[in-house]
Amino acid sequence: MTVLVVGGGGREHAICHFLKKSPKVRKLICAPGNGGIADIAECAPVKATDIEGMLALAKEKHVDFVMVAPDDPLAGGMVDAFEEAGLPAFGPRKSAAILESSKVFSKALMQKYNIPTARYEAFDDMEKALAYIQGKETPIVIKADGLALGKGVIIAQTTEEARAAVYEMMQDKRFGDSGSRVVIEEYMTGPEVTVLCFTDGKTIVPMPSSRDHKRVYDNDEGPNTGGMGAFCPSPDYTPEVAEICMETIFLPTINAMKAEGRTFKGVLYFGLMLTPDGPRVIEYNARFGDPETQPVLSLLDTDIFDIFDAVVNEKLGDIDIKWKSGAACCVVLASGGYPNQYQTGYPIEGLDSMKNDVMVFHAGTRKNNGGYFTSGGRVLGVTAVAGDLKTAVSKAYSVSGQIYFKDMQYRKDIGKGV
């Protein structure tokens, strides 16, 4: 089989790494890819959102199977386009990817089907949004409706901050059209956990739980990022919690989507908060998370291509997905200044990737004359597997300490104090 992976971050490097192990994958192509992916796959310079370009690439390279990883091509209908062209493609169709691309949609779905989440109101009128905030308890949470690189959520500590957030989204258009509608919701408390699930629309199979670290600095300080590190599994996600989530959240979600005529196939990402009143949904994503995928897939003990194939063919119930015991930790090495402005083009030293059960997944890198250079905000995801979390964390940090590029920054507390 010739398999095309769409995307070019750390998540896609991990997906390519594990696809490469499948005896069924003869040839791997990734577009646009990155410096690390270039070592294991043929990279093609097609933008992840370029549907026509991707179709042409697939045709030219005689691709047999496509895996669409990022949110924006999914929301734009890339899977639909491949299906129409007769090519099997992994990922939700546009009608189902809306679960991530519109918070107004996902909140209304949860309300309609009694799926536990924060109480909310949605607004497309700024004056009404401002009036609603008045007199509401704080903290209060303001969310842009559409995709905003994981940054469209503001936890306002005061009414003034909440008003400012509404102005910023609805008047100043900080997130473009994504903020023309907003969701204003109740502030929840409790440990956060991510559960990625494979689903073919009928069967849903959770992967081991994980925890992302969204803030840029230690102790969850500083602005939100795409994710500065993750570990797996989360000790907060006990078998009892898992059972409650399956009954009250996972199955009801795929059944709701089916009932709405929007059958969801692919990976469904549940961002959960374990509140004193039980698990509740913070957000859905319509894809593998980044960086959660790097540690989670590191524990997979089944051919990943077989799983993708079963999802596409709606035969997920027929396969037995196995996971290694133990734990995994991914530390993201980022450019100085990220998530705000940062410089790129710096040489990366000390890279000894894919050795000794520590995998260095590349995100913002490019390869030039045999060397690797920084090309993005999140540069590398150093991912270690071990029998227990403490050992995985210490291995990931030991390798991170050997890598260097100018102005490199990373959190020192991923997976610690758990």
Question: Quick check: 80 binds ligand GLY (CB under 6 A)?
Answer: no
Among 5, 25, 141, 165, binds ligand AMP (CB under 6 A): 141
In angstroms, the CA 393 to CA 411 distance is: 12
- Report the nearest approach of ligand GLY to the CB of residue 5 (Å): 16
Question: Quick check: 309 binds ligand GLY (CB under 6 A)?
Answer: no
Q: Select from 53-61, 160-168, 179-187, 225-233 the region that touches ligand AMP (CB under 6 A).
A: 179-187
Instruction: Give 350's DSSP letter.
Output: -
Q: Work out the burial of residue 164: count CB atoms within 10 Å of its CB; fewer than 13 is exposed, 13-18 middle, 19 or more buried.
A: middle
Select 19 or 232, whichever has its Cβ closest to ligand AMP. 232
Select 179 or 227, whichever has its Cβ closest to ligand GLY. 227
Taking CB atoms, the residue at the shortest distance from ligand GLY is: 289
Select 279 or 295, whichever has its Cβ closest to ligand GLY. 295
Among 12, 145, 185, 200, binds ligand AMP (CB under 6 A): 185
Question: Quick check: 150 binds ligand AMP (CB under 6 A)?
Answer: yes
In one-letter notation, the amino acid at residue 351 is: L
What does 282 interact with, of ligand AMP, ligand GLY, none (CB < 5 to 8 A by kind)?
ligand AMP
Structure tokens at 206: 């959770």
**What residues contact 109, with CB distance under 8 A and at least 6 apart?**
99, 115, 253, 256, 257, 260
Torsion of CA 303, 304, 305, 309, to 10 degrees: 110
Q: Which of residues 149-208 bind ligand GLY (CB under 6 A)?
A: 150
Among 181, 211, 213, 214, binds ligand AMP (CB under 6 A): 214
- Report the nearest approach of ligand GLY to the CB of residue 282 (Å): 11
**What residues contact 255, with CB distance under 8 A and at least 6 apart?**
113
Q: Which of residues 105-124 bind ligand AMP (CB under 6 A)?
A: 118
What does 227 interact with, of ligand GLY, ligand AMP, none (CB < 5 to 8 A by kind)?
ligand GLY
In angstroms, the CA 71 to CA 199 distance is: 17
- Report the nearest approach of ligand AMP to the CB of residue 295 (Å): 17
In angstroms, the CA 144 to CA 135 distance is: 21
Q: How far apart are the first and last CA of the chain?
A: 42
- Report the nearest approach of ligand AMP to the CB of residue 234 (Å): 13
Phi, psi (5° rounding) for residue 82?
A: -65, -40
In angstroms, the CA 80 to CA 116 distance is: 30
Question: Quick check: 195 binds ligand AMP (CB under 6 A)?
Answer: no
In angstroms, the CA 87 to CA 15 distance is: 19
Asked if 279 and 68 count as a contact pair (C-beta separation under 8 A), the reply is: no
Q: Select from 46-54, 153-161, 288-296, 362-370 the region that touches ligand GLY (CB under 6 A).
A: 288-296
Taking CB atoms, the residue at the shortest distance from ligand AMP is: 283
Pairing of strands 2-7, 65-68: parallel
Structure tokens at 383: 């991912």
Contact residues: ligand AMP, CB under 6 A: 118, 141, 150, 153, 155, 185-188, 192, 214, 271, 282-283
Contact residues: ligand GLY, CB under 6 A: 150, 212, 227, 285, 289-290, 292
